[in-house]
A and B are shown apart, each in its own frame.
Chain A
Amino acid sequence: MLIFILLTQVLSAQAQTFKIGFVGPRTGSAAATGAAFDEGIQLALDKLRADPEYKKHPIDLIFEDSGGVPEKATAAFEKLATKDQVAIVVGESHSSSALAEIEVSNRTGVPFVISEAWSDDLLKKGYKTVFRAGPSNSAVVHGSIAKFIRDSKFKRVVVVAENSDWGKGIAALTDEALTHDHITHSVVSVDHEAKDFYAELNKLKNEKPDLIVAYIYSFGMHTFISQAREVGVHGLILDGAGPPSLWPEFWQNVGTAGNDELFVSCMHEKVQPNAQAKEFWTNYKKKFGHDPSDYKSRSAYTAVLLAADALKRAHAAVSADVIASLEKTNFHAAQGTIHFGNQGTEFHQWAPDMLVVQWQNGKPGDSSTPQHVQQVVYPKKLATGTMMTN
């Protein structure tokens, strides 16, 4: 009997499954992000299965739907922590869901590495179990958007933001930055589920903006863009989130109004800083038959690999050890080398560099190239084309 027990201990120690939880919106207004996450997860699992270092540690990944709303998110995290008993949870794209999830993480002690929820409030509380390996509102605004606006010499800017945690946070930061740079601007708030922007657009038309920064993370972005042109608002539009401009329905919903539209992204074919990025691009193309377009798929890919790496280095799959292991992370990812800060605003954070990309027409008359291509227009040293104005 004793021998049997010892044997099972030895055997289980050798074949210790790594249980990783993933949260993201599979339902709700940003379900397309959940689909992008799925793709990234599949690629990551393929890579891990092929990797001999993980032969001893089969990966069990459980994806729970957080629906983009806090109550679903709380339930999802609760289930992963108490029912599935995962060692670590990664993912999430919605700040409001993440705000609820960090509470459950803190209460249950299960570490949580946020991938794509940008609100600065998430790490302000300083919970020991919470990390972020992804963009944050301040990083995106100060690192990219504000600089882009300043360097491109826009004169009149209108900031339109949805009234979500993310939207309000990033709008406030943008407002601050623009004030600091003495650029004429105004801020408009919209309901995050709104479908009709006619009234607001008609009003802001009077300001004759040359740039509209829109922080709307849903299909509302599509209607916003097409309605803007209908009402006669000119000036470039910048999608401050990114994914809505990359969803498959974009061109169908937006039509010609999508020409020259700008959006933020941290992934582009011609901007491949390292081997991991190239590897991701190649594998994605092989598996799915087309180029990756939504950078969130790559975020998910990195998140899963990061989690596996942390679990491998941890002494045991218990909270304290996993957290210690995370803090020592020095992981080479497609977005860069991930390494968490350990104090102040950098506590448990790491953010990638963001690009500003513009949809431009491909070569008309040349059917071998797509009708619309993504051109990186900022930062200048990584640009693949020049920005078109209208």
Chain B
Amino acid sequence: MAAKFKLNFILICAIGLFSFCPNFVSAYSLHVLIIGIYYAVMALAWNFLAGQAGLLVFSQAAFAAMGAYASGLFILHSGCPIWSGLIFATAVTGIVGALLGALCRKLNGTYLALVTLSFAEIVRIVITNEDRWTRGTFGLQVPGLLTEYSKVHYFYLFLSLFVIVLFGSKWIGRSRFGFKMLAIKDDSDAAESLGINTARVRTIAFALSAMASGLAGATYAHYLGLATPEMGSLGEMFLILSMTYVGGIGTSVGPAVGAIVLEVAYEQLRDFGQYHLLVFAALTLFVVRFMPAGFSSLVGVFRTLKKDPESKATT
């Protein structure tokens, strides 16, 4: 118990310090950090399903794209205030997420991956082709969230979103619902026999994860001023996946740290042009093959705290 308080305390301090960033870094670095936080939220949302519930899905990025377009199209065509777009996006992705979860309630492993992958591709293809509405690959221009553009304000907005998702997922993870997810991850049939309604748990988990992604995607699109189908591509899914694994899948903070660190590294490697993605992928391959618990496991080695079930990684 004390360990958990300690971790939360450290977390809060770290975030507090981090929030002073804008005073010390350039506008461009802030831009990079904002992107890093976006990926951190996506990684946490994916980790919720993949790490905590053991459901390796490939639909994460697609929900971000869905949220971005839902919000953008809603605002552009209804004339409602901008913030309502975010609410609309969260609602839409939540509903679709629940539907997908219900659809996949009996699927596992490879088949689950394939169906969620197909879902992601269907979403991307529809967005790309319905160009009368979405302008296809050429992106949909969406208005900014803030009436006056300020990178600093966007930074705080993203940081707030991050804090909500981080502590939200931690809280759920520790609740009865979280326990049920864990039970399903370990042994689905045993969980069923214990009276856990696996279908319901999975549906709700899918919905929550999708909502977080949808909201993140919408916010991101409004920051960039642009929503593109690329947001929901396999390439993006790869980035989310690699950030989560490198950070530590199944841990509560690992994915977020992985995301920010890798995004900053990605930016630094930018000058190496074509090589940076290769370096990334090779690193991830190394981690998955030799350090499946991610870099978080290194931290665990130094600390002699008892490992709680949350930080047990999938192999």
Contact = CB atoms under 8 A, between A and B. Distances in A.
B28 A70 contact: no
Contacts, number: 52
Most chain B CB atoms below 10 A, which of A69, A71, A99, A192: A71
Contacts of A69: 137, 228, 230
B22 interface: no
Interface string A54-87: 0000000000010001110010001100110000
A78 B28 contact: yes
A78 B26 CA distance: 13
Contacts of B135: 165
Contact of B226 (A100, A107, A164): A100
Interface residues of B, number: 20
A70 B135 CA distance: 11
Contact of B138 (A26, A65, A70, A74): A70
Nearest to B274: A27
A51 B69 CA distance: 50
B139 A70 contact: yes
A117 B216 CA distance: 32
A115 interface: no
A164 B136 CA distance: 8
B283 interface: no
Contact of B27 (A70, A82, A165): A82
Contacts of B149: 107
B224 A71 contact: yes
Contacts of A79: 28
B68 to A, nearest CB: 11
A78 to B, nearest CB: 6
A34 to B, nearest CB: 12
Contact of A100 (B26, B27, B136, B139): B139
Interface in B265-284: 273-274
A96 interface: yes
Interface string A87-110: 000000001100110010001000
A386 to B, nearest CB: 39
B141 interface: yes
Given A71-B230, A74-B224, A82-B26, A103 B141 contact: yes
Contacts of A70: 138-139, 226, 228
Nearest to A104: B225
Nearest to B270: A79
Interface string B234-271: 00000000000000000000000000000000000000
Contacts of B26: 82-83
A163 interface: yes
Nearest to A94: B138
B298 to A, nearest CB: 32
A82 B274 CA distance: 23
A78 B224 CA distance: 10
Contacts of B274: 27
B218 to A, nearest CB: 15
B131 interface: yes
Contacts of A78: 28, 31
B131 A163 contact: yes
Contact of A163 (B136, B230, B273): B136
A26 B274 CA distance: 10
Contacts of A165: 135, 138
A12 to B, nearest CB: 21
A70 B31 CA distance: 17
Given A82-B28, A82-B31, A96 B226 contact: no
A74 B225 contact: yes
Nearest to B149: A107
B224 A96 contact: no
Interface string B131-149: 1000111110100000001
A37 B164 CA distance: 46
Nearest to B144: A107
B269 to A, nearest CB: 14
Nearest to A72: B230
A249 B133 CA distance: 36
A159 B149 CA distance: 42
11 contacts: A27-B274, A70-B138, A70-B226, A71-B230, A79-B28, A82-B26, A82-B31, A99-B138, A103-B225, A107-B149, A164-B138
- The 4 A-B residue pairs with the shortest CB-CB distance, nearest first, are A96-B138, A83-B28, A70-B139, A82-B28
Interface of B: 26-28, 31, 131, 135-139, 141, 149, 224-226, 228, 230-231, 273-274
Interface of A: 26-27, 65, 69-71, 74, 78-79, 82-83, 95-96, 99-100, 103, 107, 163-165, 192
Given A70-B139, A71-B231, A163-B131, 20 more contacts: A26-B273, A65-B273, A69-B228, A69-B230, A70-B138, A71-B226, A74-B225, A82-B26, A82-B28, A95-B138, A96-B138, A99-B138, A99-B139, A99-B141, A100-B141, A103-B141, A107-B149, A107-B225, A163-B136, A192-B137
